[in-house]
Amino acid sequence: MTGATTNDEVPGGAAVRWVWLFLDTPVADAERSWAFWSEVTGQEVVDRRGERDEFATLAPPQGDPWLKLQAVGSGRGGVHLDLDVEDVHLAAARAEALGATRVGAIGDTVVVLRSPGGFVHCLTTWDGRAGRRGQPRDGLTSILDQCCLDVPRSRWEAENTYWQRLTGWAWRASDEPGYASVSAGAAMPVRILLQTLGEEDGEVRGHVDLACADRATDTARHVAAGAVVLEERSFWTVLLDPVGRVHCLTDRPPSPAR
């Protein structure tokens, strides 16, 4: 893929109505992680649910939420995406035709998949409400709005094609080689950035990025809340949150003309 592509035609029942960006954290670290992300995003932890209160939502001051929290029983945690659609079975069949692998399902409302490069994501049944209010950005100084997929070189073409065709969103290559984005524009608060890794092969991994009006100020704020700076780059800063999850602060404007 080169340059930019416009939206693909996606069958109505498989069209993405809303996207949820999940922060997955081992149970032992969940409360500490949730408190940190609530503080640095300015969003309240609400709607605790599940048999062991293992799920929660981060609620913004206005507009629809798009960030969710999950305490996981094993592994190191990480991030994943839930894509709300009207017909999960139609959307899942389409995803498999595009190269995804089905991992499992939860009843008739959730299908768990791996992308061609191995990134876990879910197709979930849209409740008809999420996305109705949108997500106003006026006045924001920072916003957690991006899932960055770290893609080995051998997976690059397949992973870019998959996400562009699955979502039907516009795909655009960056001016800097090895970066591309998939975005629905202002209609959706979450965008997907793909970046190549130094390695040739392996599984696609993910982390979250924040858009910042003043990166230095936000870096200081994250550090005060318990984060550790790993690396400073010309356009972004790499940090670890208090439980060891990588995230980046970028110079992208939080209220862009999208």
Looking up residue 166, the CATH number of its domain turns out to be 3.10.180.10
| Contact yes or no for 193/146 (Cβ under 8 A) | yes
User: Domain for residue 5, yes or no?
Assistant: no
User: Domain for residue 258, yes or no?
Assistant: no
User: Domain for residue 131, yes or no?
Assistant: no
Q: Using the predicted structure, report yes or no on whether residue 240 has a pLDDT greater than 60.
A: yes
Do 146 and 207 fall within a single domain? Answer: yes
Domain boundary among 125, 158, 183: 125
Q: Using the predicted structure, report yes or no on whether residue 22 has a pLDDT greater than 80.
A: yes
What domain range is 220 assigned to?
142-250
Q: In what order do the strands lie in the sheet with 4-5?
A: 4-5, 170-173, 179-183, 191-196, 142-151, 205-212, 246-250, 236-240, 228-232
- For the entire predicted model, the pTM comes to 0.93
Alpha helices in the chain (DSSP H): 30-41, 88-97, 156-167, 215-224
Do 178 and 120 fall within a single domain? Answer: no
User: Domain for residue 210, yes or no?
Assistant: yes
Number of domains, the chain: 2
User: Domain for residue 158, yes or no?
Assistant: yes
Q: What is the mean pLDDT of the chain?
A: 92
Do 63 and 105 fall within a single domain? Answer: yes
The pLDDT of residue 1 is 60
Q: How many whole angstroms separate alpha carbon 40 and alpha carbon 52?
A: 25
φ, ψ at 215 (rounded to 5°): -65, -40
Do 38 and 118 fall within a single domain? Answer: yes
Do 228 and 200 fall within a single domain? Answer: yes
User: Domain for residue 48, yes or no?
Assistant: yes
Q: Using the predicted structure, report yes or no on whether residue 18 has a pLDDT greater than 90.
A: yes
Nearest to 192 by CA among 172, 212, 176: 172
Do 178 and 220 fall within a single domain? Answer: yes
Q: Using the predicted structure, report yes or no on whether residue 150 has a pLDDT greater than 60.
A: yes
Q: Using the predicted structure, report yes or no on whether residue 75 has a pLDDT greater than 80.
A: no
The pLDDT of residue 139 is 84
